[in-house]
C-alpha cells in the first residue's frame, strides 16, 4: 500500500470539517449521569490463568443503562500497594480475550483493566463475553458502524463509549489501584474510544491512542478503502436520503470533534500507509487535541502501525509520565 493520503506538510496542519452539535456537552452529560445513577460497584473474582507472574481477576462492571460489561483485571503477582492502571479498549470486533492473553503493561509493573466491547468479540482471536441487548433499525450486514445510525440516542457507539467512561469509574474502585493514576489506551477502535473517554473525563493521568478509529467521519468515509468505515459508505449507497442524518449522528462520537475538550497528556501513533484509518483522520484528532500531546509516525506501515516498536515507545512514555 503506497502513501496515498495528503503530503506530510498538509497532514500536520489538517483540520476536520466535522462540527460539534449544539447540544454535544448536554448529550453526553445526560447520558453519563443516567448510566451512573443505575451503576453498581464492580464485582471482582480471582481466576486461575495459569500465569505465575501476573494475577488475573474476572470483573463485571456497570455500563450503559447499568448493563453488565466484562473485563479482566491484571496486576503483577506479589506486588503490594496501589499501582497506576491502564484501562485498555479493544479494536473493532475484538473482545477482552482469555485470562492468559497478557500484554506488556503488567509485566512493566502496571495494573491493567482489559475492557470488553459489547456485542463484539469474534475478531482476530480476542473473544468477548458481553452482549449488547439493544435492538436497532437498518444496518449494513450487521455491522456495528451502522447500528442505530439515524439517531444519536440509539447509536451503538453511544453505548460503547458510555461503557468505556464507566470502566474508568470501575478501575478507580478496584483494590490495589491508585485512582489518580489512570491511563486509557487502545488501538484502532480502542484508540478512538480512548480519545472519546479523554474528552468526557477530566481526571485521567494519560491517554495512548494508536492508529485511532472513530475520527473525522466526513473524510474517513470517503477515503478509507478497508475496515469498518466502508460499512457507512455502503449503507449510504443504499440509503441515499440518509446522508445528513447519518453524519449528524456521527458528530456526537467523532474523536476529532470531542478531543477539543481533552486535557490529559496523550501519546498518539499514525501509520502513513494505513488504508483502514487514513492518516489524515488520525492527524485530524491529533491536531484538534487540546492537551499536551506527542505523535509517533510510521511512514511505511499500514493499519498494523508501530506494533512492538510502539509498545516500547509507550513503556518509555508511561515511565516518564507516571514515574518522573
Catalytic site residue from 132, 169, 216, 274:
274
From CA 205, how far away is CA 185, in angstroms rounded? 11
Catalytic site residue from 188, 198, 262, 280:
188
Report whether 73 contacts 113 (CB < 8 A): yes
Q: What are the φ/ψ torsions at residue 123 (nearest 5 degrees)? A: -105, 140
Catalytic site residue from 62, 116, 163, 303:
303
* 134 tagged catalytic: no
Say which residue the cell 506538510 belongs to.
9
Report whether 72 contacts 99 (CB < 8 A): yes
User: CB neighbours of 135 closer than 8 A, spacing ≥ 6?
Assistant: none
Determine whether the annotation assigns residue 110 to a binding site: no
* 40 tagged catalytic: no
* 274 tagged catalytic: yes
Distances from the Cα of 63 to the Cαs of 66, 103, 216, in angstroms?
Answer: 5, 24, 26
- Exposure string over 170-193, b if 16+ CB within 10 A, otherwise e: bbbebeebeeebbbbbbbbbbbbb
**Which residues are documented as binding site for substrate?**
92
**Which residues are documented as binding site?**
92
What positions carry a catalytic annotation? 188, 274, 303
Amino acid at each position: 500500500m503506497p502513501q496515498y493520503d495528503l503530503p506530510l506538510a498538509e497532514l500536520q496542519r489538517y483540520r476536520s470539517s466535522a462540527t460539534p452539535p449544539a447540544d454535544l456537552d448536554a448529550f453526553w452529560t445526560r447520558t453519563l449521569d443516567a448510566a451512573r445513577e443505575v451503576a453498581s460497584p464492580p464485582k471482582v473474582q480471582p481466576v486461575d490463568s495459569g500465569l505465575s507472574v501476573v494475577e488475573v481477576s474476572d470483573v463485571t462492571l456497570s455500563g450503559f443503562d447499568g448493563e453488565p460489561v466484562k473485563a479482566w483485571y491484571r496486576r503483577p503477582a506479589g506486588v503490594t500497594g496501589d499501582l497506576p492502571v491502564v484501562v485498555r479498549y479493544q479494536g473493532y470486533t475484538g473482545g477482552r480475550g482469555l485470562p492468559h492473553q497478557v500484554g506488556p503493561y503488567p509485566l512493566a509493573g502496571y495494573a491493567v483493566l482489559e475492557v470488553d466491547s459489547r456485542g463484539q468479540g469474534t475478531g482476530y482471536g480476542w473473544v468477548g463475553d458481553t452482549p449488547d441487548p439493544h435492538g436497532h433499525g437498518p444496518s449494513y450486514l450487521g455491522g456495528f458502524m451502522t447500528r442505530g445510525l439515524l439517531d444519536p440516542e440509539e447509536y451503538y457507539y453511544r453505548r460503547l463509549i458510555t461503557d468505556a467512561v464507566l470502566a474508568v469509574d470501575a478501575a478507580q474502585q478496584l483494590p490495589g489501584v491508585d485512582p489518580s493514576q489512570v491511563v486509557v489506551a487502545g488501538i484502532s477502535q480502542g484508540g478512538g474510544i480512548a480519545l472519546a473517554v479523554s474528552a468526557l473525563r477530566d481526571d485521567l493521568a494519560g491517554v495512548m491512542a494508536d492508529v485511532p478509529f472513530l475520527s473525522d467521519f466526513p473524510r474517513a468515509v470517503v477515503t478509507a478503502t478497508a475496515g469498518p468505515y466502508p460499512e457507512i459508505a455502503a449503507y449510504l449507497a443504499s440509503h441515499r436520503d440518509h446522508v445528513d442524518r447519518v453524519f449528524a449522528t456521527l458528530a456526537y462520537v467523532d474523536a476529532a470533534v470531542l478531543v477539543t475538550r481533552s486535557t490529559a497528556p496523550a501519546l498518539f501513533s499514525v501509520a502513513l500507509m494505513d488504508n483502514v484509518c487514513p492518516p489524515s483522520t488520525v492527524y485530524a484528532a491529533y491536531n484538534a487535541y487540546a492537551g499536551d500531546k506527542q505523535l509517533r509516525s510510521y511512514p511505511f506501515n499500514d493499519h498494523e502501525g508501530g506494533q512492538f516498536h510502539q509498545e516500547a515507545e509507550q513503556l518509555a512514555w508511561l515511565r516518564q509520565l507516571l514515574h518522573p
